[in-house]
């Protein structure tokens, strides 16, 4: 680990022990001894060069930690200017202190080394010893809570008794059976087998300290003679050298499962001698050998790095410190000096690959200091009503953490809720306005402590322009809280800052996070284009021409006039496509279509073509429909070519021709460019779609005709939260799409491209009133809520529209055939032990089981009454599992269920989206119709709507129902079980008993023995062919034995 330090003593070669304190230039290889004070830890390190620095070592050097090195550059670096700028405001973290009221025994000699060592040992082990003592006192008491473990699981944290009779923290690492468990004592590393009586559940407060024992492996070496096992002599020698001794550990690498690859050194020897490597000692003694490919360290390289700055550099640094280039304020940062440099950071929050917040290292103290200052200012402050607006700065209280942070308003949701960005930690959250205070001016002077970044060279998968939740969650789990390195990728300040991020993976290897996402299949590579070929480059000036430019703008785009009276030479045909491709790559000014033509009437009828994602209503006047259809026919007949197959660089807002999924050409406009896909808007219909680039053509279709689709917004209508919510958008789409409506123009837009302010009526009802009635918005009642029907309204048409017929329900293909019930599965005869699986638990004494093998089921059918019907388990070569798999592939082919009588077999859709065999239990609701069904192969029940039920194919009825309802024998509810929450449908049992039984049964191999067949099937369940399952409940006091 690299740390900050100050040189307190410097002895060059040949100086005869003369200490140099004034700024003097020395080359590194001219230094014999250097002493450094670690300002963030408080200790001093003495670095000695063997052969030249030995003669300069004095007694005070011996007392301090010293290291003998052939090359000082291995452990020393001259800090970069930008690092010094980052750290200059961070005060030293080590503060000098002294114990009060004590003095050394001998005041002349001071504190001896023995006293120092013992004091350090005591401090380091004090917390750990306190935890061990607390655990021991808690678990040795017989009056403690009932913390026995009845059903241990792999990797479960616990407390286990060691052979010395003391309780220690442990973890389950093996389940050998026979009521024994193998555990590892996490604070010591050794393992042992204990019984369940020697284990206890661990209290939450004992989980907090991290595991003290860290698993390590010696680096560079392996057993002698390439054997796979270490010899007994090697183990004994290693234990002799290391057991209960203080060692120095150098971590080489972090392996999988957090195993450390290390090199161990014994305690530091005499001055002038190198510390002894245990790894090398084992090799020298013939007990180990170096791994293949390992080469011994060579420290003979010399460097000519200069440490102390020259007088010119000192003066330059003083001047720069008066006007620092690198400020902490994000918007004013000059990051160009950091372009293409590795910068160490701490990842504080990850929202998506496009939005990652990082902090410079060592800002934690500054953040804590700022938090304490804000807590003192605002904790006792009173809330005052303030009209909050977007981008306002504020002080934010985080209720669950009782902290105050600086923030900025992102969006005002309601009068009481706002979305804020805590820009010092990069967290976005929604808070109540009661948690906001006005930010004092003195707290605005300190710049933001986090930096918003985005990963470069990648784009989302699946053809989408938005990152999937899986990619965001994976990246957040991988990066949040990690130490990483960023490299700024552009030599200019843009936000978010385009960067590459490097960090360590599970194996400790340095990886590029962008490449990691590509490897995991969560991102695709995107090539950055810095320079284009001169022959195919586009004029940047021309690309910036807005779409809303005047009609008189000069355009070199080919325009197709759809007037059939004009010459055919004006049309683009297949044989001119190559000529057109040459022209479009020339620098040009972007062409544009004409804005929509708003009808002159104040009230007109229109068809709603679509509803935008932001609630915009796109309408086409009915009077314009014939002209729109005529134009579409002309476009199809005149434009006969494929999309542009060559490389072309699209720009947002550019006019184009779009080939839709119906293979027809439409007039369009580019909304967004995302890698290889383009989001376009169909100008004459309003809706947007994401399509490949090859379905676009940079050509204007009928540019002299205005846009037929008019974007509209409801007048005096304010959505909840100032934006239409997703459920409101869905309602608008379902209500209005392709519907004939009446439009009242309320206000004309300032620009012909902006939205038209309207009131909309459907079937005489005001849309604004309708949405307000359903709590989606608020509006002023300045217009009529209901409109009278026009005098020429066709009543006959209304009757025809709402005519309801029932003939289709009587068709033969929709009629549900009367099917026989499922044949039941039978249990083997009494006194026979057989393997089972518990599929569903109703109560502690009532479960559904399934025989654990086909052989058992076949045996069962030999004792069943279904032999006479000719139905047997293996009558069909296709098993039930395979039959259901085939049904799920073609489930849409089966008609919906129309007969809901009790016990009716059917197919039912489960929560996992798959269809299973089921039967009707009862009808639970009628409006809408909901049916209670039971999955016959599992025993569970669920209330489903009729769209999740289908008729079952007859061949699935040949298999008996696999789930068998049984009662469990050997136990009963306890006589004294008061004060516990009861099972609503089975009050004899407590909820605690139900959960305990589920824990005992879940995921285990169980065995059963039939006890009775009538009146209900009763069995005895065993855990390992001998131990009854219910004994766990009896031992916990949740059940009594039933003899």
pLDDT at residue 23 in the model: 52
pLDDT at residue 542 in the model: 34
677-682 and 688-692 strand pairing? antiparallel
**Confidence band for 586, pLDDT divided at 50, 70 and 90:** very low
For residues 792 and 318, which has the higher predicted lDDT (pLDDT)? 792
pLDDT at residue 788 in the model: 53
Residue pLDDT, tens place only, 846-864: 999 988 764 444 333 333 3
Closest C-alpha to 504, from 256, 248, 294, 216:
256
Report in angstroms the alpha-carbon separations of 515 from 117, 351, 512: 48, 18, 5
Q: Do residues 642 and 581 make contact, with C-beta atoms less than 8 angstroms apart?
A: no
pLDDT at residue 604 in the model: 93
> What would the mean pLDDT of 447-469 be, rounded to a whole number?
83
Q: Do residues 907 and 946 make contact, with C-beta atoms less than 8 angstroms apart?
A: no
Ranking 303-317, 534-548, 684-698 by mean pLDDT, the lowest is: 534-548
pLDDT at residue 121 in the model: 63
**Confidence band for 324, pLDDT divided at 50, 70 and 90:** very low
pLDDT at residue 407 in the model: 93
Alpha carbons 720 and 139: distance in angstroms, whole number: 56
Residue pLDDT, tens place only, 736-755: 988 999 999 998 988 888 99
Strand-pairing partners, residue 228, are none
Alpha carbons 747 and 598: distance in angstroms, whole number: 11
> What would the mean pLDDT of 393-408 be, rounded to a whole number?
88
Q: Do residues 1013 and 1021 make contact, with C-beta atoms less than 8 angstroms apart?
A: no
pLDDT at residue 590 in the model: 46
At residue 621, does pLDDT exceed 90? yes
Residue pLDDT, tens place only, 486-497: 888 877 667 788
Ranking 381-395, 815-829, 905-919 by mean pLDDT, the lowest is: 815-829
Report in angstroms the alpha-carbon separations of 929 from 561, 699, 808, 925: 56, 53, 19, 5
> What would the mean pLDDT of 1010-1033 be, rounded to a whole number?
86
**Cα 635–Cα 640–Cα 643 angle in degrees, nearest 5:** 100
Closest C-alpha to 878, from 818, 798, 958:
958
Neighbour order of strands in the sheet with 260-265: 216-218, 260-265, 248-254
pLDDT at residue 26 in the model: 77
Residue pLDDT, tens place only, 25-73: 777 778 888 888 888 888 888 888 876 555 556 655 554 566 777 778 8
> What would the mean pLDDT of 102-129 be, rounded to a whole number?
71
For residues 769 and 298, which has the higher predicted lDDT (pLDDT)? 769
Mean pLDDT of the chain: 78
pLDDT at residue 627 in the model: 92
Token representation of residue 697: 């053509």
Report in angstroms the alpha-carbon separations of 889 from 133, 893, 939, 944: 62, 10, 24, 21
> What would the mean pLDDT of 652-658 be, rounded to a whole number?
87
Alpha carbons 642 and 652: distance in angstroms, whole number: 22
At residue 1004, does pLDDT exceed 60? yes
Annotate 173-196 with DSSP letters as a single string: EEEEETTEEEEEETTT--EEEEEG
At residue 887, does pLDDT exceed 80? yes
Report in angstroms the alpha-carbon separations of 904 from 786, 812, 949, 959, 1028: 48, 18, 11, 16, 37
Peptide linkage before 131 cis (omega within 30 of 0): no
For residues 122 and 738, which has the higher predicted lDDT (pLDDT)? 738
**Cα 1013–Cα 842–Cα 972 angle in degrees, nearest 5:** 65
> What would the mean pLDDT of 174-181 be, rounded to a whole number?
83
pLDDT at residue 81 in the model: 76
For residues 234 and 582, which has the higher predicted lDDT (pLDDT)? 234
> What would the mean pLDDT of 857-879 be, rounded to a whole number?
41
For 826, residues 6+ apart whose C-beta sits below 8 A from its C-beta are 860, 861, 863, 864
For 384, residues 6+ apart whose C-beta sits below 8 A from its C-beta are 438
pLDDT at residue 812 in the model: 54
Helix (H) or strand (E) holding 120: helix 113-139
pLDDT at residue 143 in the model: 53
pLDDT at residue 527 in the model: 63
> What would the mean pLDDT of 969-992 be, rounded to a whole number?
85
At residue 608, does pLDDT exceed 60? yes
Residue 128 backbone dihedrals phi, psi, to 5 degrees: -65, -45
Peptide linkage before 496 cis (omega within 30 of 0): yes
At residue 223, does pLDDT exceed 90? no
At residue 790, does pLDDT exceed 70? no
**Confidence band for 865, pLDDT divided at 50, 70 and 90:** very low
Q: Which of 199-203, 573-577, 794-798 has the highest mean pLDDT?
A: 199-203
Annotate 477-536 with DSSP letters as a single string: HHHTT-EEEEEE-SSS--SSEEEEEEEE-TTS-EEEHHHHHHHTTS-EE--------GGG
For residues 813 and 951, which has the higher predicted lDDT (pLDDT)? 951
Share of the chain above pLDDT 90, in %: 16
At residue 528, does pLDDT exceed 70? no
pLDDT at residue 856 in the model: 43
At residue 554, does pLDDT exceed 80? no
> What would the mean pLDDT of 934-938 be, rounded to a whole number?
93
pLDDT at residue 916 in the model: 94
**Confidence band for 928, pLDDT divided at 50, 70 and 90:** confident
For 198, residues 6+ apart whose C-beta sits below 8 A from its C-beta are 160, 161
State the first-to-last Cα distance of the chain, in angstroms, to the nearest integer: 68
pLDDT at residue 534 in the model: 38
Share of the chain above pLDDT 70, in %: 77
């Amino acid at each position: 680990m690299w740390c900050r330090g100050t040189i307190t003593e410097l002895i060059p070669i040949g100086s005869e022990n003369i200490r140099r304190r004034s700024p003097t230039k020395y080359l590194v290889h001219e230094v014999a001894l250097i002493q450094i004070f670690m300002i963030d830890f408080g200790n001093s390190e003495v670095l000695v060069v063997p052969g030249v620095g030995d003669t300069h070592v004095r007694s005070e050097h011996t007392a301090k930690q010293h290291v003998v090195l052939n090359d000082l550059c291995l452990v020393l670096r001259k800090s970069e200017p930008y690092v010094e700028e980052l750290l200059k405001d961070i005060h030293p973290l080590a503060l000098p202190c002294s114990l009060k009221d004590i003095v050394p025994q001998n005041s002349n000699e001071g504190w001896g080394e023995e006293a120092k060592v013992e004091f350090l040992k005591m401090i380091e082990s004090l917390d750990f010893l306190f935890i061990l003592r607390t655990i021991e006192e808690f678990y040795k008491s017989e009056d403690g809570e009932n913390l026995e473990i009845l059903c241990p699981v792999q990797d479960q944290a616990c407390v286990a008794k060691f052979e010395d009779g003391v309780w220690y923290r442990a973890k389950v690492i093996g389940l050998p059976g026979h009521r024994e468990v193998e555990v590892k004592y996490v604070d010591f590393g050794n393992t042992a087998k204990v019984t369940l009586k020697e284990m206890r559940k661990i209290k939450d407060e004992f989980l907090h300290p991290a595991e003290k024992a860290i698993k390590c492996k010696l680096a560079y070496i392996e057993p002698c003679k390439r054997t796979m096992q270490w010899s007994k002599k090697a183990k004994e020698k290693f234990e002799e050298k290391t057991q209960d001794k203080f060692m120095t550990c150098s971590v080489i690498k972090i392996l999988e499962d957090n195993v450390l690859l290390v090199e161990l050194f014994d305690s530091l020897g005499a001055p002038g001698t190198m510390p002894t490597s245990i790894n090398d000692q084992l090799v020298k003694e013939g007990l180990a050998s170096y791994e293949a490919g390992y080469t011994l360290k060579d420290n003979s390289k010399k460097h000519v790095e200069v440490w102390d700055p020259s007088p010119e550099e000192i003066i330059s640094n003083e001047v720069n410190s008066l006007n620092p280039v690198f400020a902490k304020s994000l918007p004013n940062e000059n990051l160009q000096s950091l372009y293409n440099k590795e910068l160490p950071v701490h990842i504080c929050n990850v929202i998506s690959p496009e939005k990652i917040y990082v902090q410079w290292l060592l800002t934690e103290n500054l953040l804590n200091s700022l938090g304490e200052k804000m807590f003192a200012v605002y904790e006792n402050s009173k809330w005052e009503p303030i009209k909050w607006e977007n981008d306002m700065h504020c002080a934010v209280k985080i209720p669950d953490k009782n902290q105050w942070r600086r923030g900025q308003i992102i969006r005002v949701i309601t009068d009481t809720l706002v979305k804020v960005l805590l820009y010092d930690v990069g967290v976005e959250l929604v808070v109540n306005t009661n948690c906001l205070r006005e930010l004092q001016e003195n707290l605005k002077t300190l710049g933001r402590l986090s930096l918003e970044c985005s990963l470069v060279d990648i784009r989302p998968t699946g053809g989408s322009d938005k990152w999937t939740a899986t990619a965001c969650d994976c990246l957040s789990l991988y990066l949040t809280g990690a130490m990483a390195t960023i490299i700024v990728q552009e030599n200019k300040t843009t936000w978010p800052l385009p960067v590459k991020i490097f960090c360590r993976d599970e194996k400790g290897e340095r990886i590029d996070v962008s490449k990691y996402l590509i490897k995991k299949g969560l991102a695709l590579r995107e090539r950055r284009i810095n320079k284009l070929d001169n022959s195919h480059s586009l004029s940047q000036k021309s690309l910036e021409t807005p779409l809303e430019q005047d009609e008189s703008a000069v355009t070199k785009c080919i325009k197709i006039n759809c007037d059939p009276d004009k010459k055919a030479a004006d049309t683009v045909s297949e044989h001119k496509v190559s000529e057109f491709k040459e022209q479009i790559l020339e620098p040009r000014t972007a062409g544009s279509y004409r804005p929509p033509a708003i009808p002159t009437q104040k009230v007109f009828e229109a068809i709603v073509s679509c509803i935008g994602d932001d609630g915009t209503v796109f309408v086409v006047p009915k009077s314009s429909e014939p002209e729109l259809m005529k134009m579409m026919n002309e476009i199809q007949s005149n434009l006969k070519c494929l999309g542009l197959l060559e490389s072309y660089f699209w720009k947002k807002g550019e006019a184009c021709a779009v080939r839709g999924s119906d293979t027809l050409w439409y007039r369009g406009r580019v909304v967004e460019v995302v890698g290889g896909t383009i989001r376009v808007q169909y100008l004459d219909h309003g809706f947007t779609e994401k399509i490949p680039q090859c379905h676009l053509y940079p050509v204007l279709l009928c540019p002299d005709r205005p846009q037929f689709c008019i974007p509209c917004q409801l007048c005096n209508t304010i959505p909840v939260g100032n934006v239409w919510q997703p459920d409101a958008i869905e309602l608008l789409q379902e209500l209005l799409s392709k519907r004939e409506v009446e439009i009242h123009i309320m206000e004309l837009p300032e620009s012909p491209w902006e939205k038209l302010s309207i009131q909309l009526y459907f079937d005489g009802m005001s849309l604004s009133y309708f949405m307000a009635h359903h709590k989606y918005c608020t509006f002023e009642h300045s217009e009529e809520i209901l409109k009278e029907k026009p005098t020429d309204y066709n009543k006959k048409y209304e009757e025809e529209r709402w005519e309801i017929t029932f003939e289709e329900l009587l068709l033969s293909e929709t009629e549900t055939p009367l099917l026989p019930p499922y044949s039941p599965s039978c249990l083997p005869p009494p006194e026979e032990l057989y393997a089972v699986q518990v599929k569903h638990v109703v109560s502690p004494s009532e479960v559904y089981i399934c025989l654990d093998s086909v052989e058992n089921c076949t045996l069962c059918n030999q004792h069943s009454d279904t032999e006479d019907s000719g139905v047997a388990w293996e009558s069909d070569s296709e098993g039930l599992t395979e039959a259901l798999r085939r049904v799920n592939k073609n489930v849409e082919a089966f008609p919906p269920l129309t007969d809901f009588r009790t016990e009716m077999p059917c197919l039912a859709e489960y929560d996992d989206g798959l269809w299973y065999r089921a039967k009707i239990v009862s009808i639970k609701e009628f409006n809408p119709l909901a049916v209670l069904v039971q999955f016959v192969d599992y025993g569970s029940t669920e209330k489903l709507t009729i769209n999740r039920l289908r008729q079952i194919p007859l061949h699935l009825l040949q298999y008996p129902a696999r789930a068998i309802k049984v009662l469990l024998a050997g136990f009963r509810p306890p006589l004294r079980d008061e004060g516990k929450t009861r099972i609503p449908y089975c009050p004899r049992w407590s909820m605690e008993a139900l959960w305990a039984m589920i824990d005992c049964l879940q995921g285990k191999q169980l065995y059963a023995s039939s006890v009775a067949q009538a009146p209900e099937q009763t069995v005895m369940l065993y855990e390992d062919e001998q131990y009854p399952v219910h004994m766990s409940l009896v031992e916990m006091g949740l059940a009594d034995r039933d003899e």
